[in-house]
Structure 1
Amino acid sequence: MNALIGRTRPDALQRNLLRKMLASQVFKFGEFTLKSGQKSPIYIDLRECFGHSDLLILMSEGLSSMVTESRVEYSGIVGVPYGALPHASVVAGLYLQKPLLIVRKEAKAYGTKKLIEGLYQQGDRVILVEDVVTTGGSILEVVETLKNEGLVATDVFCILDREQGGRERLKEAGVNLYSLFNMETVMAFLASVNAINDQQWAEIVKALNLKYETVSRFEVSKEEEDLNVLPFTNAGRTSLQEREALTTSPLNHKIISFMKKKSSNLCLAIDYTTTEQILQMVEKAGPFVVAIKVHSDIITDFSESFTQQLVQLANNLEFIIFDDRKFADTGNTTKLQLTGPFKIAEWADVVTTHAVQGVDSIVPVFREFINNPAYRLSGVLLIAQLSTKGSLTNIHEYTKKAVQIADENRDIVSGFITQTRISEFSDILNWTPGVNLDAKNDSTGQQWRGVEQAIEIQQNDIVIVGRGVTSSKEPIQQLKRYRQTAWESLTKEENEKIDHN
């Protein structure tokens, strides 16, 4: 895109919702006639949410948060018929625990003959929940009906403000509009993920008579666009405590306990080639990390004495040992590699494997070792995405297959090597390489991004840092810096929820 780019910074819930909405085909492109009679090249079909329970719940959570943050006083919740009723039901019953009121299009001709169903008294103040606001006409009709029944409604909470004059019309009538999104936010997201191009942007702006002069995007770096690392999933990330309770992996229980105890979600990649260098760095890094990553096959003086010392340090300093072997062969060959000259299964807690060899060459072999108490090996990290430029793992079909293998075998696959969160299962940890606070790339195709982008935007859990620490003249200071920055990013949303409550 060549147009001038404006920058917006949506919060994590907005990002998650929009990504999930895109994946669920909420955004449709073509030629559509809106309820107002207006022609539009985009149709935002929020009724698609009803077919995706996780999206419906997440959307309702967003509406509930908006209501709470508004500090509006109310005694009941009214869903504007009919598209907003499912959202209003979840908001009222699950999140806010207030009476739900339903306004009929016309009074029943039998029974109670009520026009409004639900628990209320004359003079009660209620709030309205709506899905899409275009001109505000439907809302004003409901407000009038409520008024005739002795109820007061001056606040509406909607998912999308189409910016077609509805907000202004409602304001004139004394009604306040709160919205999760407006059209600019939606279009900024769609432009940032290349779901629309400059021409489509211009067509939408013209058709809907919007007032945007430039293409606006979410703040997504060029590196992120190149890597194609937008999350596959947008289910909200649960707290560490909840995830610890969910996981059935002994390895992840151990890792999460280390994370909580050390206030760290840092893995140090030590790509030195001599055992003395590695052990010296491990002694410095151990107190600050939850994992140490090595490449056994690049160590020139590898020995059993080295692995014994490494295991002793891991036990004493409480971190796990991660051998980044990247297995990618037949099951029989993988067995031989695990028990061969390096005896990886005896000293490594976790190893990496590609998904290219398929489930039959991955699952039975690793399960055999992980379930055998004679070996230290406790889990596998499945490589789903890499941080190198042009990596073939960034082909979505490969990543989707890796996710399927992991989701179906969570007893042995404890996590992913990935650039972004890709599985909806909270008990799988996402380990991400390519994090550096001071550099963007090197001469061999390695690409880096910052901690905030890796954790808050791309929803990873554990950051793998290498040369940002190991090449520094002051590695301990850098370890402290990375640990603090990464931990604050991981726990930011959780702490904000605690502060709010």
Structure 2
Amino acid sequence: MDFTKQLEELAINLFKIDAVKFGEFTTKSGMKTPVYFDLRVIVSYPAIMESISDLLYSSSLISLEYDHICGVPYTALPIATLLSVKAKKSMLMRRKEAKSYGTKKLIEGHFSKNQKCCIVEDVVTSGSSVLETVNDLRKEGLVVEQAVIILDREQGGRQNLEKNRVKMMSLLTMSELIKILVDNNCITKEIGVEVKNYLNSTKAPSVESSEVSAVNRLNMPYEKRAGVSRNSIAKQLFNIMATKKTNLCISVDLTSSVQILNLLEKVGEHVCLVKTHVDIIEDFNSDFVEQLKQMATKFNFLLLEDRKFADIGNTVSLQYSKGIYKISEWADCVTVHSLPGEGILKALNSASSDKSKGVFLLAEMSSEGNLITPDYTKATVKMAEKYPQLMTGFVCQNAATFDDPGLIQLTPGVQLEKPKDNLGQVYNTPEKVIENGADVVVVGRGIVASKNPETEAVLYKNILWKSYSKRILGKME
């Protein structure tokens, strides 16, 4: 069978095993898409695995010079293993986070500096996942200039990789795959046209070159920061803010589910994030959760449960996924104290959930007389570095707390007028917190307790967005 016929057969088989889905989906980079590729299912189909590895080897690997193969974790690892055996080349494994014991390695395997490593990936949209692996390998002194992938979504990933000195070779492009499926009556021509129009109109965020020196995150637009973020929730949040032109988070500290839903119906279109305290809701139930999720989809905002987890890992894992609240099933992200140590992040990272997970670590607090010290803040930021895929950002008050532009500074304690309440909460103005590095700003009583919440939400949104726009242009006073 010739190469073209083999590719056609592979495309049809991927459709048959439901590795190609059509509908409405959200990619890792936070983009909405009418077509989604779930290549994790191929591990259950040895013949398809073998076909993919044969095609990748004959079309790409056989012509390249390299010493090692490294698959992007985790979907590409089985294919990388087969290619390593087929090519009789050493395989390296990149961990998503360094071990906290033993050698504490991020890259497993034997290698020497200046040796060449070829990357293997399943699907490329923006190229950010490939670049995460590339950057970690380069930090170890390896030369990484080639990536072979199964599918190119044709949304900017190839260009992003080239900016980072990585040449990408793909088995299929999205256009080629869709044409094969239409020609073989797997999908209708109408679906094919819809996907083609989507490709022409929707591109992934540009990913900044890893060769560029550290960029001041305060001057980077949200859409560019989405491209360098390693946490899927942070990517989504950056893109939502850029699309809706709002960096306002509302804290719905109400005790009635009806009150919360009524409030969100009024302000939902003006916020990027909704912060809840579910344990104060007196009539909490599963129907409320479903309505909350539907509203999040309707208005395109994410859900943050401000649980402030602070127990040992095993307990936190249960608090996150069990009990009456089942937070892991509906919350996009949660707040966490670093006080118990790394075990709390390890527990949340491994907690079972079909959802993407996000964590905001409390690095600073806005309450008067809190006991967090500068050393505690530094240790918190350091602890987060081992879990880049889990970390959405930090709850903090100052821009100097962290540098990574892919993380989000969530800042509470904001009101237009009142400087302090009678319980020790200190407030700052919207302009001040943006100047101090805030990316997402939390407003609670300033909106919730007002006579007209929607009017106040619009007022806060406009002031915050104007301040952010000035900041990225370097015009803050």
2:451 and 2:432 mapped to 1: Cα distance? 26
Are positions 1:292 and 2:243 aligned together?
A: no
In structure 2, the CA distance between the partners of 1:439 and 1:264, relative to structure 1 (3 Å rule), is same
Counterparts in 2 of 1:195-206, with a 5 A limit? none
Shift of 1:377: 5.1
Are positions 1:265 and 2:247 aligned together?
A: yes
Partner of residue 249 from structure 1, selected from 217, 222, 231? 231
In structure 2, the CA distance between the partners of 1:305 and 1:377, relative to structure 1 (3 Å rule), is farther
In structure 2, the CA distance between the partners of 1:447 and 1:297, relative to structure 1 (3 Å rule), is same
In structure 2, the CA distance between the partners of 1:408 and 1:491, relative to structure 1 (3 Å rule), is farther
1:292 and 1:327 mapped to 2: Cα distance? 18
Partner of residue 403 from structure 1, selected from 381, 390, 401? 381
Partner of residue 453 from structure 1, selected from 432, 435, 438? 432
Cross-structure match for 2:361? 382
Cross-structure match for 1:306? 288
Partner of residue 329 from structure 1, selected from 311, 318, 323? 311
In structure 2, the gaps of 5 or more residues are: 1-214
Shift of 1:459: 1.1
Give the conservation status (yes or no) of the 8 Å contact 2:413–2:427.
yes
Partner of residue 406 from structure 2, selected from 416, 419, 427? 427
2:417 and 2:385 mapped to 1: Cα distance? 35
Cross-structure match for 1:418? 396
Q: Which amino acid aligns with 2:465?
A: W
Cross-structure match for 2:7? none
In structure 2, the CA distance between the partners of 1:496 and 1:305, relative to structure 1 (3 Å rule), is same
Residue deviations 1:16-57 (CA, integer Å, cap 9, x gap): xxxxxxxxxxxxxxxxxxxxxxxxxxxxxxxxxxxxxxxxxx
Residue deviations 1:172-230 (CA, integer Å, cap 9, x gap): xxxxxxxxxxxxxxxxxxxxxxxxxxxxxxxxxxxxxxxxxxxxxxxxxxxxxxxxxxx
TM-score, structure 1 as length reference: 0.50
1:470 and 1:306 mapped to 2: Cα distance? 19
2:407 and 2:219 mapped to 1: Cα distance? 11
Describe the SS at the equivalent of 2:319.
Answer: helix
Q: Which amino acid aligns with 1:444?
A: L
Residue deviations 1:417-467 (CA, integer Å, cap 9, x gap): 1111211111110000011012111110011011111011x1111100000
Give the conservation status (yes or no) of the 8 Å contact 1:378–1:412.
yes
Are positions 1:489 and 2:472 aligned together?
A: no
Give the conservation status (yes or no) of the 8 Å contact 2:358–2:391.
yes
Shift of 1:390: 0.4
Give the conservation status (yes or no) of the 8 Å contact 1:255–1:320.
yes
Q: Which amino acid aligns with 1:493?
A: R
1:236 and 1:293 mapped to 2: Cα distance? 23
Cross-structure match for 2:335? 352
Give the conservation status (yes or no) of the 8 Å contact 2:232–2:356.
no
1:495 and 1:425 mapped to 2: Cα distance? 19
Give the conservation status (yes or no) of the 8 Å contact 2:398–2:437.
yes
Cross-structure match for 1:277? 259
2:317 and 2:333 mapped to 1: Cα distance? 15
Describe the SS at the equivalent of 1:322.
Answer: strand
Residue deviations 1:50-90 (CA, integer Å, cap 9, x gap): xxxxxxxxxxxxxxxxxxxxxxxxxxxxxxxxxxxxxxxxx
Counterparts in 2 of 1:19-418, with a 5 A limit? 237-338=219-320, 339-359=322-342, 361-369=343-351, 372=352, 374-376=353-355, 378-393=357-372, 395-418=373-396
In structure 2, the CA distance between the partners of 1:265 and 1:235, relative to structure 1 (3 Å rule), is closer
In structure 1, the gaps of 5 or more residues are: 1-232
Describe the SS at the equivalent of 1:381.
Answer: strand
1:476 and 1:272 mapped to 2: Cα distance? 16
Describe the SS at the equivalent of 1:410.
Answer: coil
TM-score, structure 2 as length reference: 0.53
Q: Which amino acid aligns with 2:421?
A: D
Residue deviations 1:96-129 (CA, integer Å, cap 9, x gap): xxxxxxxxxxxxxxxxxxxxxxxxxxxxxxxxxx
Residue deviations 1:357-405 (CA, integer Å, cap 9, x gap): 001x222211113xx5x43352000011111000112x11111111111
- From the CA coordinates, give the structure whose radius of gyration is larger: 1
Give the conservation status (yes or no) of the 8 Å contact 2:219–2:471.
no
1:481 and 1:411 mapped to 2: Cα distance? 34
Partner of residue 478 from structure 1, selected from 452, 456, 463? 456
* Stretch deviating more after TM superposition (467-476 or 243-252): 243-252
Q: Which amino acid aligns with 2:273?
A: A
Give the conservation status (yes or no) of the 8 Å contact 1:432–1:460.
yes
2:473 and 2:421 mapped to 1: Cα distance? 35
Give the conservation status (yes or no) of the 8 Å contact 1:348–1:377.
no
Give the conservation status (yes or no) of the 8 Å contact 2:222–2:239.
no
In structure 2, the CA distance between the partners of 1:332 and 1:262, relative to structure 1 (3 Å rule), is same
2:457 and 2:471 mapped to 1: Cα distance? 23
Describe the SS at the equivalent of 1:285.
Answer: helix
Describe the SS at the equivalent of 1:351.
Answer: strand
Give the conservation status (yes or no) of the 8 Å contact 1:407–1:425.
no
Shift of 1:234: 7.1
Q: Which amino acid aligns with 2:225?
A: R
Describe the SS at the equivalent of 1:392.
Answer: coil
Give the conservation status (yes or no) of the 8 Å contact 2:397–2:437.
no
1:495 and 1:256 mapped to 2: Cα distance? 18
Describe the SS at the equivalent of 2:355.
Answer: coil
